[in-house]
Structure 1
Amino acid sequence: MKNHGVDVNVVVYNTLIHALCKNGKGNLVQALVMLEKCFGNGFVPDVVALTKLMEILCKEGRISEAVEVMERVEAKGGTHDVVVYNTLAKGFVKAGNVSVSALDLFHEMKRAGVRWDFVTFETLTHGFCSAGKTREGVEIFELMLEDRGGCGGRIACCNSISYSLYKNNDIGKALEFLDYMKNWFPQAVDRTLTILHLCEEGNTDEGRKILDEMRERGRAPSAIVYASLIQEHCKKGCMREAVELVNEMTGLWYFPVASTFNALISGFCKQGRAGIAVRLMDDLKTRGCLLDSESYGVVVEALWAEGDLQHVFVMLMQMMERGIAPNQDTWNLLIRVAMEGKSENRLLQTEYMTKLDLLIH
């Protein structure tokens, strides 16, 4: 265009920036270069191009750069809308900066005259609840009810609060909140309670069918539903189905608590598949799940039963590194191992005793 004397206007820059950031698969470096050229020629990108660029920066964890881009556009007379602010808020939440950065941005929107929308409230509620701050999440939820006049048929905030209560092991309060949700989502609550009742009866097949129907209709089930189905599948030894449910659960950003993933670990160990349980523990750690003494205790006992003393040592050292004290059953097993001298390898036995002494002290 330049070679043929055609003026390059702001529309061209907007189009190129948007294309370079499309679906997060473009070239971020080139997009930033194009942004500088846009500024250099006296143009300001429109809100669509700005949003896409900030979105990909936030996904890359480069939130400070996204803030800088937003401020530069503002300084040059560009406009922001609620989507721009929501994009930045999601970035702060993903980075775990909900209490300071995301909440400050929430108040900044009001000062700037940008009205909050449902995505704004959902983002903040999810951020607080994922961090285990249920009270703050409920406050944002109540503010949404006041500001928007209800839930707008969107169940995300309610599910975030249910998830937070589940994470805090407040199952009783989670069930109370389900009853409260009936005011806006009677059908979803009825289906949830039906699944929980089916799990109590051991009827996981019907429960799974209802869950699939909910997802097909765009109704994301609560974390409690997944936890109940996972535990019941593990009791029945249906480990493949249980793992599938865990993957679905984490795909919705519901990370299982100890009681849920310990059921998985125990289920594999009962089937003599301690090696899979160990790999599962590694996977859970990468997903941000916090293992506890029961997690390690079940695996240590299974590995000992299989005669795999070396992996018992590995689990023992991991517990030490993470500051996890063995429970009573694990202590009894460790002492029994030391006393029985099951290993024929004296060097290995001496190494075990040394590590056990370190753990005691």
Structure 2
Amino acid sequence: MKPPKPISPFRLSSLLRLQKDPTLALQLFRSPNPNFNPKKPLRYSLLSYDLIISKLGRAKMFDEMEQILHQLKQETRFSPGEIIFCNVISFYGRAKLPDRAIQTFESITGYRCKRTVKSANSLLNALLRCGEFEKVRETFLGIYKDGTPDACTYNILIHACCRIGSLDDAWNVFDEMKRRGVLPNAVTFGTLMYQLCMNLRLKEAFKLKEDMLGVYGVKPNAYVYTSLIRGLCGIDELSSAFRLKEEMVRNELKLDSVVYSSLISALFKAGRKEEAFGILDEMKELGCKPDTVTYNTMINGFCKEKDFEAAFRILDEMVEKGCKPDVISYNVIIGGLCKEGKWIEAKDLLEDLPRRGCAPDVVSYRTLFDGLCHWKQFKEAAFILEEMIFKGFAPRSASITKLVDGLFQECNLELPLTVLDSLGKGNLVDVDTWRIMVLMACKKEKLSNSSKVVDTLVIT
């Protein structure tokens, strides 16, 4: 039997690519040949460095990733490519670590790697993800040290302007882009179009759509059409929205669930819910499978019409079609039931969620708790409060005040003590709640005994 051969650099890269567990991948990288002569360490390839850095970055194992980067910095046989650092900057952006992203960008030249506009764009996008708009501006002002801004650069700036709600600044960036001879692309127009439609500036949006093809030679894509359709639905221009949908079909653009969900929502709003089922049939004919968003839109429409039987039928249909309802599906129904005073049904549904394979979230509990307080079901509200705090969820402060005020009116001291105990466990007792509790105690008991009652509240 031949003795096993040591792992080669090429083989290590293959093994790293196959290894899904980042911790095991790191162990493999650090010690690929534990049973062989340690005096002849493996000469790592650049691909191996790239693979392990990417795996650690995706897993947010940043300290370990930095250790590998430090090791890479000591390599003299090759210089790493800029793409490695672009990826690292992106990992830090997704993790909302802007300072680390900046440090990585500034360290690139220390690896004998030339910075270009690509890494600058990666940094701009990471800062945008982190909401560091001032640092986006500062980075752009210094970008000429590393290269000339390209379409990606300006698209990020336009997106940043839109994020802070400054559409005028976005247009100014668009104008500068043109002055510098940088051609806008589909992303540029899509970002501007989305913001125009969000602000219901549909006339300008349609003018921009015409200019895309007529002036700039850029064909409108599905994202542009989707923004326009959503905008039209927002102002109840259903006929125009359906015409755009047909135009998408003629242009052989793929319609997704967002388009259909927007149309379904608008149909319900216009009192044309019967046509919504026709939309579902059309989706199936065109090979666009209804997803959770589509069904949730239907559920929301029926709940607004107080047709809860139909909403539950949609839930059943989702399961039959292999589309698992999510917590939003149930929260919409719980909210609708509470709004109509059907708090018993809402409470039963929340309790049934685990059996349905869906864990209630903070919105589930807050919605039911708010509904119970609104309908003055304070005893039930107190039970839900205790359960939600036990699960680590905090109610809205306004709802706590409503509950405590309601208990004050009922002059029932036993239940308020239970509520105070629950709030204390969640560290949710504020000055106003404490004041009302003391007043309630003084009102219930004789004034001469109020200090004794207050002591009871403090002990509780």
Match of 2:151 in 1: 118
Structure 1 distance, partners of 2:381, 2:183, is 65
Return closer, same or farther for 1:148/1:21 CA change in 2, 3 Å cut-off. Answer: farther
Q: Please, which of 328, 343, 354 is the counterpart of residue 280 of structure 1?
A: 328
Task: Tell whether the 8 Å contact from 2:339 to 2:371 is kept in structure 1 after alignment.
Answer: no
Alignment of 1:103 onto 2:142? no
Structure 1 distance, partners of 2:331, 2:93, is 25
Task: Tell whether the 8 Å contact from 2:73 to 2:110 is kept in structure 1 after alignment.
Answer: no
Structure 1 distance, partners of 2:82, 2:371, is 50
Match of 1:91 in 2: 126
Match of 1:181 in 2: 209
Shift of 1:113: 4.3
Structure 2 distance, partners of 1:346, 1:355, is 6
Structure 1 distance, partners of 2:299, 2:140, is 39
Task: Tell whether the 8 Å contact from 1:266 to 1:299 is kept in structure 2 after alignment.
Answer: no
- In the TM superposition, 1:340-355 aligns within 5 A as 347-348=379-380, 355=403
* Residue identity matched to 1:72: S
Alignment of 1:138 onto 2:171? yes
Return closer, same or farther for 1:204/1:107 CA change in 2, 3 Å cut-off. Answer: same
Structure 2 distance, partners of 1:70, 1:201, is 47
Match of 1:16 in 2: 48
Structure 2 distance, partners of 1:95, 1:62, is 7
Shift of 1:36: 0.7
Shift of 1:80: 0.7
Return closer, same or farther for 1:87/1:357 CA change in 2, 3 Å cut-off. Answer: same
RMSD: 5.2
Match of 1:150 in 2: 183
Match of 2:97 in 1: 62
Task: Tell whether the 8 Å contact from 2:80 to 2:111 is kept in structure 1 after alignment.
Answer: no
* Residue identity matched to 2:403: K
Structure 1 distance, partners of 2:134, 2:239, is 41
Match of 1:34 in 2: 68
Return closer, same or farther for 1:83/1:205 CA change in 2, 3 Å cut-off. Answer: closer
Alignment of 1:165 onto 2:196? yes
Structure 1 distance, partners of 2:406, 2:126, is 42
TM-score, normalised to structure 1's length?
Answer: 0.62
Q: Please, which of 105, 112, 117 is the counterpart of residue 82 of structure 1?
A: 117
Q: Secondary structure, in 3 states, of the residue corresponding to 2:180?
A: helix
Match of 1:325 in 2: none
Return closer, same or farther for 1:203/1:306 CA change in 2, 3 Å cut-off. Answer: farther
- In the TM superposition, 1:233-244 aligns within 5 A as 234=268, 235=273, 236-238=275-277, 244=290
TM-score, normalised to structure 2's length?
Answer: 0.50
Task: Tell whether the 8 Å contact from 1:129 to 1:137 is kept in structure 2 after alignment.
Answer: yes
Q: Secondary structure, in 3 states, of the residue corresponding to 1:184?
A: helix
- In the TM superposition, 1:304-323 aligns within 5 A as 304-305=341-342, 307-308=344-345, 310=347, 314-315=366-367, 317=369
Return closer, same or farther for 1:121/1:246 CA change in 2, 3 Å cut-off. Answer: farther
Shift of 1:118: 1.2
Structure 1 distance, partners of 2:204, 2:302, is 30
Return closer, same or farther for 1:162/1:74 CA change in 2, 3 Å cut-off. Answer: same
Match of 1:324 in 2: none
Match of 1:300 in 2: 338
Task: Tell whether the 8 Å contact from 2:261 to 2:297 is kept in structure 1 after alignment.
Answer: no
* Residue identity matched to 1:114: G
Unaligned ranges ≥5, structure 1: 249-260, 285-294, 322-333, 339-344
Shift of 1:208: 9.6
Higher relative contact order (CA 8 A, sep 6+): 1
Structure 1 distance, partners of 2:47, 2:147, is 25
Return closer, same or farther for 1:229/1:142 CA change in 2, 3 Å cut-off. Answer: farther
Task: Tell whether the 8 Å contact from 1:204 to 1:233 is kept in structure 2 after alignment.
Answer: no
Q: Which has the larger Rg?
A: 2
Task: Tell whether the 8 Å contact from 1:133 to 1:164 is kept in structure 2 after alignment.
Answer: no
Match of 1:257 in 2: none
Task: Tell whether the 8 Å contact from 1:230 to 1:245 is kept in structure 2 after alignment.
Answer: no
Match of 1:342 in 2: none
